[in-house]
Amino acid sequence: MIKHVIAGIATILALWACVYMYNSDKEVNKLANIQSLIKKSEIKVHLVKKTEIKKEVKQSEKISSSSKANKKMDDKLRALKNKAGNIAAFKVSPLYKKNCSSCHGSTGEGIIGPKLRGKDKDFLLKNLKEFKAGTRKNYVMYGLLGNLSDQQLDDLATEISTFQAKYDKAQK
Ligand code: HEC
């Protein structure tokens, strides 16, 4: 009888041991899984980091190249501004500034269009009228003067004819 009890207990112990071993195996597996997961995610993080870094490098390259271009533009703008600042020795009317200064310069010194400073009123008005009428052919000037009145042309001619004296005065 006692033999049976011992055998029973032994069996139960053996079973328990089996279950225990199985469970601890599971735990170990879990641990291994977790470790491999961590490793994988590290790899991912690593990969992500690498590609991100590449992206960042590319972006910063872009930025630096565009900032190079920007710098060039800035330099050009600064040069232009300096030029304008030096030459803009006197005030011009908004009418001239808006319609004419981009091509003839802030004080009539000439850029794309010829120098106007120093030309007398008759010459200026005559040419403006001819441009507007189309008798002096220039598509740039023609298109520009179409929406200016004769009075405005007269005003402009009058104003521009004073540029030289104003300029000379400002240089002293
Ligand atoms: C988009 C550029 C541009 C603008 C803006 C412009 N002009 Fe001109 N202008 C020219 C060019 C180019 C000529 C030369 C045309 C030619 O040789 O036939 C010229 C010629 C002239 C002439 C004749 C000068 C000469 O020596 O023969 C006068 C005067 C003149 N412009 C006045 C003006 C006035 C005033 C304005 C503003 C209402 C003006 N321009 C706006 C480009 C411009």
Where residue 107 sits, what CATH number does that domain have? Answer: 1.10.760.10
Q: Is 33 exposed, middle or buried (0-12, 13-18, 19+ CB in 10 A)?
A: exposed
122, part of any domain? yes
Does residue 71 carry a pLDDT above 90?
no
67, part of any domain? no
Report the alpha-carbon distance of residue 128 to residue 154 in Å, rounded: 9
The finding on whether 124 has its CB within 6 A of some atom of ligand 1 is: yes
Q: Which pair of tokens denotes residue 18?
A: 């089996």
Report the alpha-carbon distance of residue 93 to residue 102 in Å, rounded: 13
Q: Which pair of tokens denotes residue 91?
A: 């005030």
Residue 78 — pLDDT band, cuts 50, 70, 90?
low
Residue 92 Cα to ligand 1 midpoint, Å, equals: 16
96, part of any domain? yes
Q: What is the span of the domain harbouring residue 137? A: 91-171
- pLDDT for 4 equals 83
Report the alpha-carbon distance of residue 58 to residue 46 in Å, rounded: 18
The finding on whether 127 has its CB within 6 A of some atom of ligand 1 is: yes
The finding on whether 156 has its CB within 6 A of some atom of ligand 1 is: yes
Residue 114 Cα to ligand 1 midpoint, Å, equals: 7
141, part of any domain? yes
Tens of pLDDT, residues 90-107: 999 999 999 999 999 999
Tens of pLDDT, residues 28-65: 777 777 677 667 666 665 555 666 656 665 665 665 66
- pLDDT for 54 equals 64
The finding on whether 99 has its CB within 6 A of some atom of ligand 1 is: yes
Report the alpha-carbon distance of residue 68 to residue 162 in Å, rounded: 42
Is 141 within 8 Å of 131 (Cβ atoms)?
yes
- pLDDT for 147 equals 87
- pLDDT for 85 equals 53
Number of domains present in the structure of the chain: 1
- pLDDT for 159 equals 97
C-alpha 141, offset from chain centre: 33
Residue 17 Cα to ligand 1 midpoint, Å, equals: 104
Q: Average pLDDT, stretch 164-168?
A: 93
Mean pLDDT of the chain: 80
19, part of any domain? no
Q: What is the CA radius of gyration of the chain?
A: 43
- pLDDT for 64 equals 61
- pLDDT for 156 equals 97
Q: Global pTM? A: 0.59
